[in-house]
Amino acid sequence: MNLLKWLYRKFTFKYLLNFEQEDPSVEQWNAFLSKFPKPKDDYDLSYYKYLCRMYYFSKTYRLIANLVSLVAYLLIIPVLLRKRPDLVVSRKNNFVLVESLNVGYEDILPPKLKDKYGEMFVVKKPTYKEWYLNKNAKSILFKSILKRPFSWHYNIMLFKELSMYSQLLEKYNTKAIVVYVNERNIASSLVSMLCERQYVDFVTFMHGDYILQLIQAYMRFTKFYAWDEHYIEMFVNDLNCPQEQFEVYLPGKFKKEKFKELKTYEYFVTYYFGGESISRIKSIAKVFKELQRKGLNCKIRPHPRRSNMPLIKKEFKNFEIENTDEIKLEDSMLSSEYIMALNSTVLLEGFYQGKKVIIDNVSDYNRYSNLKKRRYIMLSNNHYLLTNVLKEINIDYEDL
């Protein structure tokens, strides 16, 4: 099981997190989505979402994934034979939050959850040894296999999700199961069906800023809490997600006291990295060297998981590189007059708290242009463009 997981993650993230790829064509995405008939039910929503996920992968990957999944069907047998897990919580006035290992939830948790469902129980995702299929989960899985018997990879992914949430449903007598970092979940509509058959809501909420992504199409939860009406329009109009699930809320991190503008700052700008390509990292370094020549103090903050740290340390050896484990994001923003990125949740958070935001339209102009097509929310909010900032301090950005 561990070997299969390692192989799956290695080859899957090779495609999903390949930052050297060209920016996707929104026109091609729209053409792809236009081929789907209107979904008739949750089974269609789930399968269409799976096809949107597979759009990112080569034909070779899809063939291998399908063949490997046929062997992986042996994993179903032990799960089918397992006994129902012991009930942990017998009270109904509660909800279960499935915590992500990589993303915190404290400052993005919708307040309405506690008002609606009561006490919160934080749990981890069940491991394979804990997976269980209850009667409703078996019914959904077997119906899916009958509808699409040769979609082996799709059905094994569905089996995994149904097994995890079936286990939670049997283990906790709860009003709702709440997840986040779940926009790629191909089984979201069918897990919602599973929960709703047992009078439990399947709920999710945003964990970061979203731009248009094909992989987010056809999402369906009992309730989806979004940060702004902007995202709901994108999900419904561009990505064919059912509208009735959505509700707007403002996360706690946007409600913090606004930064006071200071007369002097320790740094002119902080650049917030995400998953930059090699060429983008080198381009940003050139900009920083020019700013440094003008006597402006600059620093960068790498992404805690996605940044190319060896290259960053090489290119920015004469600049401050923040330690994300030691320096809080608030302190990072406070020390700079400007905060900058191509697109990052940090820019949106800083905007809500009154920071001056610069959008990088220099390091990869084509990607910046594509952000307009991908509904980037910060382009509609007050911001500066890097080209204009460089002009004001007499730096010729065209030579960078």
- pLDDT value for 235: 98
Phi, psi angles (nearest 5°) of residue 14: -60, -35
Q: Rounded to whole angstroms, how far apart are CA atoms 183 and 207?
A: 10
DSSP code of 236? I
Pairing of strands 176-180, 119-123: unpaired
- pLDDT value for 3: 59
Q: Are 227 and 250 in contact, with CB atoms under 8 Å apart?
A: yes
Q: What is the CA radius of gyration of the chain?
A: 23
DSSP string across 375-392:
T-GGGGSS-EEHHHHHHH
CA-to-CA dists, residue 349 to 7, 147, 284, 326, 356, angstroms: 36, 44, 22, 20, 11
Domain regions of the chain by residue span: 2-254, 267-399
DSSP code of 124? P
Below-70 pLDDT ranges, the chain: 1-22, 400
- pLDDT value for 9: 58
DSSP code of 95? E
CB contact set of 160 (below 8 Å; sequence gap of 6+)? 131
Say whether domain 267-399 belongs to CATH 3.40.250.10: no
Q: Rounded to whole angstroms, how far apart are CA atoms 48 and 283?
A: 38
Q: Rounded to whole angstroms, how far apart are CA atoms 164 and 386?
A: 46
- pLDDT value for 90: 74
Residue 13: CA atoms inside 13 Å, Cβ hemisphere, count? 9
Phi, psi angles (nearest 5°) of residue 120: -105, 135
With 0-12 / 13-18 / 19 or more C-beta atoms within 10 angstroms meaning exposed / middle / buried, residue 338 is buried
User: Collapsing DSSP states into helix, strand and coil, what is residue 327?
Assistant: coil
Q: At what angle do helices 59-72 and 2-16 cross, to 10 degrees?
A: 160
